[in-house]
Amino acid sequence: MDKILRINMGNEGGPQASEEPMGDYAGLGGRGMTSAIIAKEVPPLCHPLGKDNKLVIAPGILSGSHAAQSGRASVGCKSPLTGGIKEANVGGQGAQVLARLGYAAVVLEGKPKDDNLYKVVINKDGVEIIPDNSLKMLGNYDLIDNIKAEYGDKVACISIGPAGEMKMAAASVAFTDMEQRPTRHAGRGGVGAVMGAKGVKVIVLDDTGMETRSPKDPEKFKAANKVFTQGLKKHPITGEGLPSFGTNILTNIVNEAGALPTRNFQSGRFDGAGNVSGETQSEIMKSRGGMVAHGCHKGCVIRCSGIYMDKDGNYLTKRTEYETVWAHGPNCGIDDMDTIAMLDRLDDDYGLDTIEMGATIGVAMEAGLAKFGDGEGAINLLKEVGKGTPLGRIIGNGAAVTGKVFGVERVPVVKGQSLPAYDPRSVQGIGVTYATSTMGADHTAGYAVTANVLNVGGSVDPLKPEGQVELSRNLQIATAAIDSTGMCLFIAFAILDQEDTFNAMVDMIGAFTGQDMTADDVAALGKKILEYERDFNTRAGFTKKHDRLPDFFKTEPLSPHNVTFEVKDEDLDQVFNW
């Protein structure tokens, strides 16, 4: 993984690919790579859908190796949704395959001078950029079926659905899983719209004939990887909870904590939570012949994914994750698991961020376009997006746009991006992350739910402002670093609670790269990435006034605790003062 692939879609003679050495980007991976390239090469004031924006796809530092949990990729650009820098993190097979092909990043540049839609094919023999208009407006599932028929069942794909082609600001980039299904999505921030603006429908990756990446110190790497893997397996969350019930194990937990946003953030508890919990979901999956404890990429030992069948025993979608269950379930007043699974399937097929879509439908329901609890109404609204009708284009551009068009006051967004599945009034630490993250509202940027609700890595009272800024700051630094390694963020549960597992992770990175890594080096990497991102956002026009939650979180008490968000603005401004 020692080179960067640049694909200039606006080249005078037609799209052209070129390779170059890492240069100034040597040693970077994942989010570190995407944010560095965007910060250094993209004009911050450019139009996100214009020729000057770039889409960067980068595997992690450890991707393509035998390191456990190392199959995450980062997709970066200037976001059409927020107007700031964006990194969307994703699982699936793409990172491992891309890394084994030797690429630390694929950079889509320029803008096509024609109306053709292109597919990019990358293998050990090189790169082909092929116009293929037969793929126009295909859903991701039909698209991948076409690619499999042409290129076989060993390739990995990175693709967009109709939403990306229509350049909707909620459009995602899909990565295929181990069964070649387009179920893993770089969802947040409209990265799919940027890929669509570049005229690229699908990138086909074939690593046949390529070897697994080797560490600089094989013996130290092997030993550290073993300790790290054992740590993941012995932690109750990563070793038991997530494999058994997926991320949706959180539904009952967060509901009990009074932090489950219900009916567009009107309350913190949902009466129907038990019907859509991880426990109920797993029972349904098992009874229909589905699969629990399933990895989304090779090398996954946590295995929080799964396969969800419909009532007739036919494949419908993957195990729907907690944030998706919340977005299309409690947030819309819906307590039917099959309805939520269908909404997830449609999101994946159209190529849409499930969080943004669920939040947007919640706003649309508050506007009266459907009633809370109306599952059929939610499906119909989502189908409008897939068809690209005027209403669908409004919804497909997210909650902020939808709220403005229909005159809704309670619109849960920061920097234009919808809040995920934890109400910041009952989990004040995640509220700090939502407000201050470089990415807009994003739970993964600094998952304070750990100490606020789960008592992982310590305990901070979720209902009080004290300690929340420091908690969010430390987690945002750590997360930026983890996002660069290619490792799944769920390792955080084990490394926060188990010192030996954390040390093994540091040793594993050091042994692979040939550097003598310390915990301070990991923190320094995280800080450097955040500095890249904040610098870009500042030059794009963001100020401290953008690091705020919507006013209703400060003025509307949330039941059952009857609390508001109490972290002061002046304290939010201290998050990045390290």
Q: What is the pLDDT of residue 493?
A: 87
Does the pLDDT of residue 535 top 80, yes or no?
yes
What DSSP character marks residue 5? Answer: E
> What average pLDDT does this structure show over 368-374?
98
CATH number of 217-245+424-578: 1.10.599.10
Helix (H) or strand (E) holding 395: helix 390-395
Q: What is the pLDDT of residue 242?
A: 85
**Tokens 């003598």 correspond to what residue?**
516
Per-residue model confidence as pLDDT tens digits over 210-219: 999 999 999 9
Does the pLDDT of residue 156 top 80, yes or no?
yes
What class has domain 3-205? alpha beta
Confidence band for 197, pLDDT divided at 50, 70 and 90: very high
Sign of CA dihedral 139, 203, 98, 122: positive
Does the pLDDT of residue 294 top 80, yes or no?
no
CA distances from 305 to 211, 328, 491 (A): 27, 18, 15
Q: What is the pLDDT of residue 362?
A: 98
Q: How far is CA 196 from the centre of its chain?
A: 18
Per-residue model confidence as pLDDT tens digits over 440-472: 999 999 999 999 999 999 999 999 999 999 999
> What average pLDDT does this structure show over 275-304?
87
- Same fold? 3-205, 217-245+424-578: no
Helix (H) or strand (E) holding 120: strand 118-123
Collapse the DSSP code of 208 into the 3-class scheme (helix H, G, I; strand E, B; otherwise coil) and give the result.
coil
Query: Angle, to 10 degrees, between the axis of helix 375-387 and the axis of helix 337-350?
Result: 10
Confidence band for 389, pLDDT divided at 50, 70 and 90: very high
> What average pLDDT does this structure show over 159-182?
97
Per-residue model confidence as pLDDT tens digits over 499-508: 999 999 999 9
105 beta partners = 4
Rounded to whole angstroms, the Cα distance separating 342 from 159 reads 20
Helix (H) or strand (E) holding 392: helix 390-395
Per-residue model confidence as pLDDT tens digits over 69-101: 999 999 999 999 999 999 999 999 999 999 999
For residue 46, give both structure tokens: 């450019």
Q: How far is CA 568 from the centre of its chain?
A: 28
Q: What is the pLDDT of residue 292?
A: 81
Confidence band for 201, pLDDT divided at 50, 70 and 90: very high
Does the pLDDT of residue 386 top 80, yes or no?
yes
Q: What is the pLDDT of residue 229?
A: 93
> What average pLDDT does this structure show over 115-123?
97
Per-residue model confidence as pLDDT tens digits over 220-274: 999 999 999 999 999 888 888 788 888 889 999 999 999 999 999 999 999 999 9
Q: What is the pLDDT of residue 302?
A: 79
Q: What is the pLDDT of residue 407?
A: 98
Task: Fold for 246-422, please state it.
Answer: 1.10.569
Q: What is the pTM of this model?
A: 0.96
Rounded to whole angstroms, the Cα distance separating 465 from 54 reads 38
Does the pLDDT of residue 298 top 80, yes or no?
no
Confidence band for 301, pLDDT divided at 50, 70 and 90: confident
Q: What is the pLDDT of residue 506?
A: 93
Confidence band for 35, pLDDT divided at 50, 70 and 90: very high
Closest residue by Cα to residue 172 from 140, 134, 129? 140
Rounded to whole angstroms, the Cα distance separating 368 from 385 reads 17
Rounded to whole angstroms, the Cα distance separating 231 from 247 reads 19
424 beta partners = none
Rounded to whole angstroms, the Cα distance separating 546 from 527 reads 20
Share of the chain above pLDDT 90, in %: 90
What DSSP character marks residue 4? Answer: E
Q: How far is CA 344 from the centre of its chain?
A: 15
Cβ atoms of 40 and 54 closer than 8 Å: no
pLDDT, averaged across the chain: 95
- In DSSP notation, 342-387 reads HHHHHHHHHTB-HHHHHHHHHHHHHTTSS-TT-HHHHHHHHHHHHH
416: CB partners within 8 A, 6+ apart? 81, 82, 83, 169, 398, 400, 440
Confidence band for 420, pLDDT divided at 50, 70 and 90: very high
**Tokens 């699908």 correspond to what residue?**
202
Q: What is the pLDDT of residue 489?
A: 83
Does the pLDDT of residue 291 top 90, yes or no?
no
- Domain edges within the chain: 3-205, 217-245+424-578, 246-422
Rounded to whole angstroms, the Cα distance separating 188 from 82 reads 10
Confidence band for 208, pLDDT divided at 50, 70 and 90: very high
Rounded to whole angstroms, the Cα distance separating 528 from 490 reads 22
Closest residue by Cα to residue 297 from 553, 68, 57? 68
Confidence band for 565, pLDDT divided at 50, 70 and 90: very high
Cβ atoms of 155 and 147 closer than 8 Å: yes
Rounded to whole angstroms, the Cα distance separating 3 from 126 reads 13
Q: What is the pLDDT of residue 244?
A: 82
